[in-house]
């Protein structure tokens, strides 16, 4: 298949690089992105632990919360 003009449309570019149209002044810094990633991973870890406790309890609420 040959390249077409549609391959360079704004929609195609945004799909590949969604932040390119965001002004540089309001983009997150690398430090902010790193902190967001760490916060996300901490939340996933807490969710994993809570789910594991739930499964180990046989699917019932923890007695500590009653």
Amino acid 25: pLDDT = 84
Q: How confident is the model at residue 50 (pLDDT cuts 50, 70, 90)?
A: very high
Residue 15, C-beta contacts closer than 8 angstroms, at least 6 positions apart = none
What average pLDDT is seen over the chain?
79
Residue 33 corresponds to which tokens in the numbers above? 């992105």
Amino acid 59: pLDDT = 84
Handedness of CA 5, 11, 17, 23 (dihedral sign): positive
DSSP 57: T
Q: What is the mean pLDDT of residues 11-29?
A: 74
Predicted structure pTM score: 0.55
DSSP output for 7-22: GGSHHHHHHH-TTTTS
């Amino acid at each position: 298949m040959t390249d077409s003009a549609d391959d360079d449309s704004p929609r195609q570019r945004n799909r590949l690089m969604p932040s390119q149209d965001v002004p540089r002044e309001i983009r997150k810094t690398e430090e902010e992105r790193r902190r967001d990633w760490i916060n996300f991973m901490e939340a996933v870890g807490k969710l994993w632990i809570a789910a594991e406790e739930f499964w180990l309890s046989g699917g019932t609420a923890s007695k500590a919360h009653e």
